Amino acid sequence: MQNKGLVKFFAILFALVSIYQLSFTFVANGIKKDAKAFAEQKLAEIKKKAAPGQPLPEVSELEVQYLDSLKKVDVFSLGFADYNYEDVSNKQINKGLDLEGGINVILQISVKDVLKGLSSDSKNAVFNKALDNAAKIQQGNESYLDAFFRAFDEAAAGTGTKLASPDVFANKNLSDEINFKMSDDQVKKVIRRKVDESVDSAFGVLRKRIDKFGVVQPNIAKLGQTGRILVELPGAKDVDRIKKLLQSTAQLEFWETYRLEEMGTFFETANQALRTSDVAAKTTEDKTVVNDSLKAMLGNKSKDSVSKNTADLGPLKSRMTYGGGPVLGVVAAKDTAKVGEYLRRADIRNLIPADKRFAKFVWSKANVSVDPKTKKESQTFELYALKGNKDNVAPLSGGVIVDARDTFDQLGKPAVSMQMNGQGAKTWEELTGKAYTDKGFIAIVLDNVVYSAPGVSTGPIAGGRSEISGNFDVAETKDLANVLRAGKLPAAAEIVQSEVVGPSLGQKAIDAGTTSSIVGLVLVCLWMMFYYGRAGLYANIALLVNLLFLFGILASLGAVLTLPGIAGIVLTLGTAVDANIIIYERAKEELRDGKSLGEAVVTSYGWKGAMRSIIDANVTHVLTGAILYIFGTGPIQGFATTLLIGIFTSLFTSIFIARIFIDRDVANNKPLAFTTNLTKNWFTGFNFDFIGIKKYSYIFSTLVVIVSCVSFYFNGLDEGVDFVGGRTFQIKFEKTVDASVISEELTKEFGTTVEAKVFGDDDQLKITTKYKIKEESENTDKEVNEKLYNALSKYFPGTKYEQFINTYDGKKVGVLQASKVGAAISADIKTNSFWAVIGAMLIVGLYLVVSFRKWQYSLGALAAVFHDVIFVLGVYSLGYKYAPFHMEMDQHFIAAILTVIGYSMNDTVIVFDRIREFLAGNRKGHFKDVVNASINTTLSRTLNTSLTMIMVLLIMFIFGGESIRGFVFAMLIGIVIGTYSSLFIATPVLVDTMKQSDIDDIEKRHFTDQE
């Protein structure tokens, strides 16, 4: 090997750099352990001194405080440089949420709301029709904005309406950038930029919010140009609180309110009108049911916290207790929807006096009370009427807030104080002055919810300071102050995908990944030593160096390590020795042909030896890995990252590191046989007629494809929530439960089918529901959680809602993991998955055409890959109902399919390279004889590589954990069938599609009289 000194220099340099990069991870992990120990000790001290009922901090909050205190403190020294904790944490390998535990959400900024804002809430019929139709015609992987433009073009056809119409986007707000003379294409460019600016603004607001939330190393990232934002909060535990924090638009407004006496006449009139219309409608349908229901409602106070003794108060008054001052009434939670429906009805709103026609009805924050006898919680809401106007614009908005702090009011209750800017202070003084004169009230409204509505008793308030008080706890005031300081979102942020992982589940994943890695590494090393002797030892050294380089590069890139990422590393153990196997097998052939050790080594490492096969095989790996990275998200990208890095590091170590030791043996005249006495004749002397039995392999494979297609039609595939949308919960029970019973109980609670399956242990279920999956509000997520708890609480005696839903250290029962995939994002995932598989096959096929210069090679490889994909899909279609582990179609499964495509191509390329070599060389015989000889002489490489991969995958399947078992099984089946197809499908197809003229030309060059 030339430039051996240079190779050694770079190898040592890379090793030192890798050790340097990994040292930060070791130091950071040690500091985190210290932080946890400190937090636990500190909490124990606080508990001893705390008064009864005093709120206690979370362990995670104390950990963050400890780590924050070290941010600028030197914690690590290497002699030539000192590093504080912030430097160390930025350079470490971060663990993904599936290993660390925490909450991961993808937020979709509502482009519809942005467009409404840009149009100044246009009432143009064409514009609003396009807004409504955009969501209906939106296709997988298409942005809402593109769908809106298509919908607008269709709705505007023949109407003369343009995007630059004065009542659409050529309004005063956009007058500097859009005028009525502009074409639709010109306007589209401006609107795209404005939407991007809104997403950027939302990104900035969310970053400010999560930076102050109090979690270690939060991560926020924009996902391309999709309008989606990824937020990862490692270690976060309070699910409902975090979703509320992220989704709150922080639309703070100050409104004057009507008093009860000002609206009382309207309510009496409305109640009488509703009494007449409702009774008439219901009597027509069923008089008996109405009367019975009314009697039941009036006769059973426990069912209605605001029920009356009066026989018939009317539809509105029977659901509401009148309040006082700005509070028009108090309504039980279960009746708010009906009361709101009444007040939105056009015929009822027409009864509002003309001077109050713009009245805006809103609810307060929930008031929670506990029945002292039953200990059950109940919620009521206060109803307010704001003094609205035709533009629906508040007299004062939250844009004037320059600072907000969580504090305590005069009664010692948690509150939020706010400071306004100069203009806001002036308006606030005018507003409070008017309220003082009129003896009125000012409602403080956040995201259309009234938090408080104080009166003004001491005159106008100068200085611009105000306070929000109400039914808060300390955590709520901290979050509210945080949200107000960060500012409002430009549009609603909808959670389209989320995942919650408990820390105990994360530790279990780490243990499973560590076990599978160690066992896989030991078995691969033992096999290489057993099969190749001392040469196998050199390959093992190269493998260990490869792992050092791999982790060093992951650390230097700031990569996030996930459970699929660990699977990628374990898989790298198998691929890392692949190049060594190809080289060693070639060297054995050269030695058997009578060459010296030195000549055999030079030939096997040469382009005409093993290098061409190695390059072709690894290019196919890189192409499929790149597609996997491009089309995958989150953990799948982690898998693709480790796979791609592993390909390059294993190539370097296999080709250069192992050869350093081999060349030393050559120089020292040490015998090196690339085998052992036991294995020297293994997989040699084959003379099997693969082409002669092709009709049988064709029949078998055709039957497999037919059976698979029939199964697709009748059984289908178990499409996971990644593809169809939905919510999944991994729930651990205190004892074994019947999945079918749980499914029935949950179906009854949700009013729609809920699936429950055993997941791993018999006391653990995976529950899936599509309940309200198209509704993205934070309230819907909480509603689902509450329904789940209500239905299952009898299985968890003594466990409160927060304990059941939220995650915490040491949690053993309840929800261990939860995920949600919205309908829109599931369509994108499905589209991406389809094009990823098709794209991988086509790109690799195109590469083979370029590399082999004949389309028949590409066709043979594609036929084999297509066969492999159908086979794996068929196995999953036939077996998902009966397998003891989950066999779902999800992103992990697609990652497995793409990996199978890469490895199937790898096996095929090894055979094809030998066919190309023999056809171009002096191999004697008929065309079919040459092809058969090519397969037989590469059989040792094919089987050895596949056996190594199968061994590693089996280890992952056994020890890797339940969450990746289906993923690994797909790869395991794929590698087995891929080995078969490369021998019995790809090559026969190549032979059958070769032109007769080409065959005649080959036989002229290779045929001898000695046939």
pLDDT in tens, 624-647: 888 878 877 666 777 788 888 888
Find, among 354, 266, 377, the residue nearest to 317 by Cα: 266
Q: What is the pLDDT of residue 667?
A: 84
Name the pLDDT band for 599 (thresholds 50, 70, 90): confident
Pairing of strands 360-364, 377-386: antiparallel
Name the pLDDT band for 307 (thresholds 50, 70, 90): very low
Cα dist from 696 to 302, 692, 702, 976, 985, whole Å: 75, 9, 10, 18, 11
Q: What is the DSSP letter of 606?
A: S
In tens, the pLDDT along 429-449 reads 888 889 888 888 988 888 888
Q: Provide the token pair at 31.
A: 């500091």
Name the pLDDT band for 327 (thresholds 50, 70, 90): very high
In tens, the pLDDT along 347-371 reads 899 999 988 889 999 998 888 777 7
Give the pLDDT mean for 188-207: 84
Lowest-confidence region among 95-109, 447-461, 779-793, 842-856: 95-109
**Alpha carbons 234 and 100: distance in angstroms, whole number:** 6
Q: What is the pLDDT of residue 923?
A: 67
Which helix (H) or strand (E) segment is 443 a member of? Answer: strand 442-446
Question: Could you tell me which residues are beta bridge partners of residue 76?
Answer: 83
Q: Which residues of 29-49 are buried (b: 16+ CB within 10 A; e: fewer)?
A: eebbeebbebbeebbeeeeee
Name the pLDDT band for 258 (thresholds 50, 70, 90): very high
Question: Could you tell me which residues are beta bridge partners of residue 497?
Answer: 106, 821
CB 934 within 8 A of CB 914: yes
Q: What is the pLDDT of residue 950?
A: 84
Name the pLDDT band for 778 (thresholds 50, 70, 90): low
Find, among 898, 910, 908, 895, the residue nearest to 841 by Cα: 898
Q: Please report, rounded to a whole number, the percentage of residues in the chain having pLDDT higher than 90.
A: 5
Give the pLDDT mean for 612-630: 80
Q: What is the pLDDT of residue 634?
A: 62
**Residue 849 confidence (pLDDT) above 60:** yes
CB 641 within 8 A of CB 626: no
**Residue 835 confidence (pLDDT) above 90:** no
225 vs 353, more confident = 353
37 vs 233, more confident = 37
Q: What is the 3-state secondary structure (H, E, C) of 18-30?
A: HHHHHHHHHHHHH
**Residue 1009 confidence (pLDDT) above 60:** no
Name the pLDDT band for 511 (thresholds 50, 70, 90): confident
**Alpha carbons 383 and 194: distance in angstroms, whole number:** 37
**Alpha carbons 1001 and 1011: distance in angstroms, whole number:** 17
Q: Strand, helix or coil at 729?
A: strand
Lowest-confidence region among 209-223, 444-458, 561-575, 773-787: 209-223
Cα dist from 159 to 152, 170, 182, 188, 463, whole Å: 11, 17, 17, 19, 53
Name the pLDDT band for 285 (thresholds 50, 70, 90): very low
- Residue 237's φ and ψ, nearest 5 degrees, are -130, -30
CB 886 within 8 A of CB 965: yes
Q: What is the pLDDT of residue 384?
A: 93
**Residue 273 confidence (pLDDT) above 60:** yes
- Cβ contacts of 962 within 8 Å, gap of 6 or more: 759, 760, 885, 886
CB 871 within 8 A of CB 704: yes
- Cβ contacts of 81 within 8 Å, gap of 6 or more: none
Q: What is the pLDDT of residue 888?
A: 80
Average pLDDT, the chain: 80
In tens, the pLDDT along 956-970 reads 788 877 777 877 888
CB 466 within 8 A of CB 481: no
Give the pLDDT mean for 194-204: 83
Q: Strand, helix or coil at 442?
A: strand
Q: What is the DSSP letter of 942?
A: H
Q: What is the pLDDT of residue 396?
A: 86
**Residue 215 confidence (pLDDT) above 80:** no
Handedness of CA 512, 518, 520, 523 (dihedral sign): negative
Q: What is the pLDDT of residue 299?
A: 39
903 vs 742, more confident = 742
In tens, the pLDDT along 556-585 reads 887 777 777 777 777 777 677 778 888 888
- Cβ contacts of 246 within 8 Å, gap of 6 or more: 105, 107, 206, 209, 210, 231, 493, 495
- Cβ contacts of 440 within 8 Å, gap of 6 or more: 256, 257, 259, 434, 455, 456
499 vs 451, more confident = 451
Residue ranges in 853-926 assigned as alpha helix (H) = 855-879, 891-920
Beta carbons within 10 angstroms of residue 372's beta carbon: 6
Q: Provide the token pair at 337.
A: 């929807």
- Residue 107's φ and ψ, nearest 5 degrees, are -100, 135
**Residue 710 confidence (pLDDT) above 90:** yes
- Cβ contacts of 158 within 8 Å, gap of 6 or more: none
353 vs 829, more confident = 353
Rg of the chain over all Cα atoms, to the nearest angstrom: 35
**Residue 533 confidence (pLDDT) above 80:** yes
Find, among 154, 120, 156, 113, the residue nearest to 137 by Cα: 154
Residue ranges in 921-986 assigned as alpha helix (H) = 927-937, 939-959, 965-981
In tens, the pLDDT along 460-472 reads 888 888 887 766 7
Name the pLDDT band for 293 (thresholds 50, 70, 90): very low
Q: Provide the token pair at 550.
A: 């791999």
Q: What is the pLDDT of residue 53?
A: 63
Pairing of strands 94-95, 560-561: parallel
- Cβ contacts of 343 within 8 Å, gap of 6 or more: 270, 349, 361
What is 63-107 written as a DSSP string? HHHHHHHTTTSEEEE-SS-EEEHHHHHHHSPEEPHHHH-EEEEEE
Residues in the chain: 1011
In tens, the pLDDT along 98-120 reads 677 777 778 888 888 888 888 88
pTM for the structure as a whole: 0.67
In tens, the pLDDT along 138-162 reads 776 677 888 899 999 988 888 888 8
Identify residue 720 by its one-letter amino acid code: G
Name the pLDDT band for 284 (thresholds 50, 70, 90): very low
Q: Strand, helix or coil at 389?
A: coil
Q: Cα 837 vs. chain centroid, distance in angstroms?
A: 20
CB 811 within 8 A of CB 503: yes
Indicate the burial class of 964 (C-beta count within 10 angstroms; 0-12, 13-18, 19 or more). Answer: buried
**Residue 303 confidence (pLDDT) above 90:** no
CB 56 within 8 A of CB 46: yes
Cα dist from 653 to 7, 613, 647, 659, whole Å: 10, 17, 10, 9
CB 520 within 8 A of CB 566: no
In tens, the pLDDT along 382-408 reads 999 999 888 788 888 877 888 888 888
Q: Strand, helix or coil at 596?
A: coil
Give the pLDDT mean for 836-845: 81
Lowest-confidence region among 236-245, 423-432, 458-467, 713-722: 236-245
Find, among 448, 407, 415, 469, the residue nearest to 248 by Cα: 448
786 vs 684, more confident = 786
Give the pLDDT mean for 281-297: 43
**Alpha carbons 900 and 545: distance in angstroms, whole number:** 26
- Cβ contacts of 1001 within 8 Å, gap of 6 or more: none
**Residue 880 confidence (pLDDT) above 90:** no
Identify residue 688 by its one-letter amino acid code: F
CB 820 within 8 A of CB 781: yes
Beta carbons within 10 angstroms of residue 8's beta carbon: 13
